[in-house]
Amino acid sequence: MLFSKDNSDEKGLTGKIDLDDELSKAFYYIHKTMDKKYLTPKRYLTLLETYRQVYLTKQQTTSKRQQHLKSGVSKLSEARKVVDDLKRNAEIKQKELAIKQLEADEALKQITKSMAVSFI
């Protein structure tokens, strides 16, 4: 493990990064391709620390975005449940309304009949 200790900086970035062999070799290659006067252990460690900071920043941003998307999805699923409940209630009320409308039509027919009979 390349960064074995937890470091914290002013941005609040903390964490360990596990680098596999290929990535470690790539860092070493980048370091070795530098001009000889810049080829110092301190520069190599600075390269690694810079990578760590960029990596943790990107990871933090990605985690925040992922959490934001998850909360959005949960709100959408809650809204879907509410809409389904409202649809069910509307169907029930529509059936009740149809029944009441038929009853009202029948009552109107009876009133019309009784008024027609009383005028005759």
Q: What is the CA radius of gyration of the chain?
A: 37
Distance CA 24, CA 7 (A): 19
pLDDT at 1 (0 to 100):
37
Q: Given the structure tokens 């005759």, which residue do they identify?
A: 120
pLDDT at 4 (0 to 100):
42
Report CA-CA distances (Å) from 68 to 12, 13, 58.
20, 20, 15
Residue 109 phi/psi, 5° resolution? -60, -45
Of the candidate ranges 2-11, 48-57, 64-73, 94-103, the one whose mean pLDDT is the lowest: 2-11
Where in the chain are the domains?
A: 21-93
Q: Mean pLDDT across the stretch 98-117? A: 92
